[in-house]
Structure 1
Amino acid sequence: MRTALAIVMLSLAITQVGCAPYQFGNAALFPPGVQTVHVPIVRDSTFRHDLGVRLTEAIIREIELRTPYKVTADPSADSTLRCEIIGETKRMLTETNADFPRALDAAVQVRAAWTDRQGRLLLSNAVVPTGDLSILFSQDERFVPEAGQSVDTAMQKAIEDLAGRIVSQMEVRW
């Protein structure tokens, strides 16, 4: 009985001291000390000016769904995630005998930077930081006009995938 009591007391002492910084749930995947994220409208330097607003909405949705952070409109939030669409392309992959497009790729390229209030980099694409404050993301989606698919549906799918990849990069490196 004494041995069992000693083991229980020892395990309680170890859990109180040894595991104090341990976090449970998805909060363990993200940097501590950050509770709010400001996501300004994504700048868009392409001819498709609606892509920036659509990507902003997708990123906010992903952050609210997958992270412990609260997205706020306040620029003095704990952190800021800035993104810029730097390119979008449409490329023909195959064509019919009559030279009509059969399968195409629609691609979007984005530069993203996540910093805290002091301007320190929170988003990192490498185990060893390079000093660059932004990460480049690119996503392409295939679409087939003959099957009723359009460049708009392909771009929306690419935007949703990009938002997921950007938010995934917000996780802490192991």
Structure 2
Amino acid sequence: MATAKWGSRSIAIVLLVLTVVVGCAPYQFGNAALFPPGIQTVHVPVVRDATFRHDLGLRLTEALIREIELRTPYKVTADPFADTTLKCEIIGETKRVLTETDADYPRALDAAIQVRASWSDRAGRLLLNNSVVPTDDLTILFSQDERFVPEAGQSVDMAMQQAIEDLAGRIVSQMEIRW
């Protein structure tokens, strides 16, 4: 009678262990669970810049690479035959005066940058989807603006750099799997 009790317990323990081992196999842990599986490398070519400020493309490229390496399980590579390619183009940048002093000096300004982004695999399938408004467009438009106050020692370059870093974070966030 004691052996029958012991035998059923050992069978239950073995079944429990098998369920845990086999049942948990496809799950991913950590930040890898947030991103599409089966991708190991991402190629990020230098961001094209259609504005007069030609340093913005290089600055956005560096920010994108830093964000991908920091927040995703992917490795950024210079190989154009990587698993996926993230292409971006800066299509506009603006500076707008928000408030002025009595002497017409700008007090607070907005610096904005607009980017078109596309993430695709080797077969050309799009991986970057607009989660808010699905469209048939091959790219997603991103825009980011930052306020700066010259009287407080802030500059348009500082504002643009902050906008670029925020924009890179938003683009990499769009690389996550939709729930």
TM-score norm. by structure 2 comes to: 0.92
Q: Does 1:134 find its partner at 2:134? A: no
Q: 1:161: Cα distance to partner?
A: 0.4
| One-letter amino acid matched to 1:155 | M
Residue 163 of structure 2 corresponds to 158
Which structure 1 residue ranges, 4+ long, deviate > 6 Å from structure 2? none
Task: State the match for 1:28 in structure 2.
Answer: 33
* Aligned counterpart for 2:69 among listed residues 61, 64, 68: 64
Asked if 1:101 is matched to 2:91, the reply is no
Structure 2: which 5+ residue stretches go unaligned?
Answer: none
Alpha-carbon separation, structure 2, partners of 1:90 and 1:109:
12
Deviations 1:75-113 (A, max 9, x none): 000000000001000001000011110000000000100
Is the radius of gyration larger for structure 1 or structure 2?
A: 2
**C-alpha offsets along residues 7-48 of structure 1, whole Å, 9 cap, x if unaligned?**
422222222333321111111111111100000000000011
Identity %: 79
Equivalent-residue separation in structure 2 for 1:92 and 1:129 (angstroms): 33
More displaced 10-residue stretch of structure 1: 3-12 or 117-126: 3-12
Task: Tell me the distance in 2 between the aligned counterparts of 1:128 and 1:109.
Answer: 17
Q: Deviation string for 1:135-163 (max 9, x for gaps)?
A: 11110000000001000000000000001
Give unmatched runs, 5+ long, in structure 1.
none
Opposite residue 80 of structure 2, the aligned amino acid is P
How many pairs were matched up? 174
152-161 or 2-11: which moved more? 2-11
Provide the rounded CA distance (Å) in 2 between the counterparts of 1:92 and 1:98: 14
Q: Which of 46, 50, 58 is 2:51 aligned to?
A: 46
* 1:84–1:110 Cα contact (<8 Å) kept: yes
1:77 to 78, 82, 96: 82
The answer on whether the counterparts of 1:127 and 1:173 sit within 8 Å (CA) in structure 2 is no
Q: Is the 8 A contact 1:107 1:141 kept in 2?
A: yes
Counterpart AA for 1:9: V
Following superposition, the deviation at residue 128 of structure 1 comes to: 8.1
- Contact 1:30-1:171 within 8 A present in 2 as well: yes
